[in-house]
Amino acid sequence: MKIIIVENYDQLSEKAFEVMKEVIDSKENPVLGLATGSSPIGLYKCMIEDHKKNGTDYSKVTTFNLDEYVGLDKHHSQTYYTFMHENLFEGVEIPEENVQLPLGNGDLEQNCKDYEKAMEDYEVDIQLLGIGSNGHIGFNEPGTSFDSLTHVVELKESTRKDNARFFDPLGEEVPTHACTMGIATIMKAKKILVIANGDNKADAVYNMVKGEVTEDCPASILQNHPDVTLIVDSAAGKRL
């Protein structure tokens, strides 16, 4: 694992952008695995700025997102569909038919199978990951099998608490379930880029890098991937 420790969130976002941009520039039809949450917002801002300033073309980019909440209307303000359109897709003008997210409504089992199947036709060139304070990747909570494919999960209370900041202002509860790429799905990516910032990630980052490879810390499986770059700020990296 290549580990880069920077001072702050801005530097983290710029470094992550360099890694992402190198992949986008080196492929004719880049396939990006993408994440939501607070961690990638700065990186996505850099991608939008670069698209606007330098004309980096996203018309041949295909994207697969890690996860989606179950039970929210697609256009609800807190779906990952909405998040991605607001924070990246509209800004880089990626064609709608090139973007994929798991579907959180309807026949969920079938949706998960269809998503996994859709991904089989592609090879993800770079998978971006944030990490949960409990070591989750995607919504693969502690205890998830390392062999898991795209599936429906019940979210842990700690994860729902972490994400309540987005739902509280709406007077709504965080959904109880989500659809997520599985750990085996994530591990198929050619390259993985993990970003983490802030004190509350320090233990998870430590366990991911230096802990035992165990399903109790889903991110620890990344020790077995041949091409992982981890970028952390000094707070998240303080135990490394």
Q: Which of 12, 66, 72, 103 binds ligand F6R (CB under 6 A)?
A: 66
Residue 237 neighbours by CB under 8 Å, 6+ apart? 3, 5, 196, 202, 205
Q: Is 124 in the site for ligand F6R (CB under 6 A)?
A: no
Report the DSSP beta bridge partners of residue 151. 180
Q: Which stretch binds ligand F6R (CB under 6 A): 15-23, 127-135, 185-193, 211-219?
A: 127-135
Residues with catalytic annotation?
Answer: 67, 134, 136, 141
Residue 13 or 36 having the CB closest to ligand F6R: 36
- The H or E element spanning position 109 is helix 108-120
Q: Total binding residues for ligand F6R by CB under 6 A?
A: 14
Whether the Cβ atoms of residue 90 and residue 80 lie closer than 8 Å to each other: no
| Binding letters toward ligand F6R, positions 15-54, x by CB under 6 A | --------------------xxxxx---------------
Q: Which of 92, 102, 111, 136 binds ligand F6R (CB under 6 A)?
A: 136
Residue 62 or 87 having the CB closest to ligand F6R: 87
Give the CA distances from residue 236 to residues 10, 42, 82, 166, 189, in Å, rounded to whole numbers and listed in that order. Answer: 14, 16, 28, 22, 24
Q: What are phi and psi of 195, to 5 degrees?
A: -125, 140
Residue 48 or 128 having the CB closest to ligand F6R: 128
User: Smallest distance from the beta carbon of 38 to ligand F6R, in angstroms?
Assistant: 4
Whether the Cβ atoms of residue 24 and residue 92 lie closer than 8 Å to each other: no
Residue 92 or 129 having the CB closest to ligand F6R: 129
Q: Is 87 in the site for ligand F6R (CB under 6 A)?
A: no
Distance of alpha carbon 7 from alpha carbon 150, whole angstroms: 35
- The H or E element spanning position 82 is helix 80-84
Q: Give the other-Cβ count within 10 Å of 2's Cβ.
A: 10
Q: Which stretch binds ligand F6R (CB under 6 A): 12-20, 98-106, 126-134, 141-149?
A: 126-134
Q: Is 138 in the site for ligand F6R (CB under 6 A)?
A: yes
The structure tokens listed for 34 are 């993408």
Interface residues toward ligand F6R, by CB under 6 A = 35-39, 66-67, 130-132, 136-139
